[in-house]
């Protein structure tokens, strides 16, 4: 497995303890909304309620990107809810790395927004860390884009 574009390598979803939940979705326009409701249901009423809005926005963007830019049959969402962190990983069958934002987004640059959208910029702004993993060893078969949010224990519902 190869990691790319991580903002904090130690935050990889593969190193987090906690409860894990998985959802497989057909690659349809409705998938982002379903993933959004799934993440909301996992975090509502928990000590992580303070990150629900950020988690909803980020998972919507990543799932929508998988829908728009791949022909994968299934989009797989994996959520790990740990004591201090919430990590969401979205996998598709396009084994190409995700471009890094590297601070190159300019809110006044309409060409950048039209060409690439705001999804990765939002991950940069909202997530404690994010990245993508290309999986499949010698023959890459898929990628997972993940993000980690810091749980806000003071906002429990």
Domain boundaries, given as residue ranges, for the chain: 2-152
- CA 147 – CA 70 distance, rounded (Å): 19
Instruction: Give the model confidence (pLDDT) of 95-143 as tens digits.
Output: 565 555 444 444 444 444 444 566 788 898 999 999 887 765 555 456 8
Q: Compute the chain's Rg from CA coordinates.
A: 15
Give DSSP secondary structure letters for 68-116: HH---SEEEEEEEE-SSEEEEEEEES---PPPP-TT---TT-HHHHHHH
Judged against a pLDDT cut of 50, whether residue 75 lies above it is answered with: yes
pLDDT of residue 135: 66
pLDDT of residue 112: 42
Please compute the mean of the pLDDT values over residues 1-19 and round it to a whole number: 51
The alpha carbon of 100 is separated from its chain's Cα centroid by a whole number of angstroms, namely 14
Closest CA to 46 of 102, 84, 87, 78: 84
Confidence category of residue 71, pLDDT binned at 50, 70, 90: confident
The alpha carbon of 103 is separated from its chain's Cα centroid by a whole number of angstroms, namely 18
Judged against a pLDDT cut of 80, whether residue 10 lies above it is answered with: no
Question: Which of 10-14, 31-35, 112-116, 118-122 is modeled with the greatest confidence?
Answer: 31-35
- CA 117 – CA 137 distance, rounded (Å): 30
pLDDT of residue 32: 96
How much of the chain, in percent, has pLDDT values that exceed 90? 45
Please compute the mean of the pLDDT values over residues 70-99 and round it to a whole number: 85
**Both tokens assigned to 52:** 């629900």
Closest CA to 21 of 63, 72, 76, 59: 76
Q: How many CB atoms lie within 10 A of CB 84?
A: 14
CATH number 3.40.50.300 given to 2-152: no
pLDDT of residue 85: 93
Give pTM, 2 decimals: 0.76
Q: Phi/psi class of residue 45: alpha, beta or left (left: φ > 0; alpha: ψ in -120 to 50)? A: left
The secondary element (H helix, E strand) that includes residue 132 is: strand 129-135
Judged against a pLDDT cut of 70, whether residue 8 lies above it is answered with: no
């Amino acid at each position: 497995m190869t990691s790319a574009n991580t903002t904090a390598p130690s935050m990889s979803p593969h190193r987090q303890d906690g409860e894990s939940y998985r959802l497989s979705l057909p690659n349809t326009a409705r998938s982002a909304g379903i993933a959004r409701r799934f993440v909301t249901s996992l975090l509502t009423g928990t000590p992580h309620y303070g990150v629900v809005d950020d988690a909803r926005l980020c998972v919507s963007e990543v799932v929508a990107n998988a829908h728009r830019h791949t022909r994968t049959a299934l989009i797989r969402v994996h959520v790990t809810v740990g004591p201090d962190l919430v990590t969401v990983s979205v996998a598709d069958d396009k084994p190409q790395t995700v471009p890094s934002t590297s601070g190159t987004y300019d809110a006044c640059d309409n060409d950048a927004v039209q060409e690439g959208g705001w999804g990765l910029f939002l991950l940069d702004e909202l997530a404690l860390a994010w990245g993508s993993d290309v999986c499949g060893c010698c023959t890459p078969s898929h990628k997972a884009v993940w993000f980690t949010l810091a749980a806000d224990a003071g906002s429990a519902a």
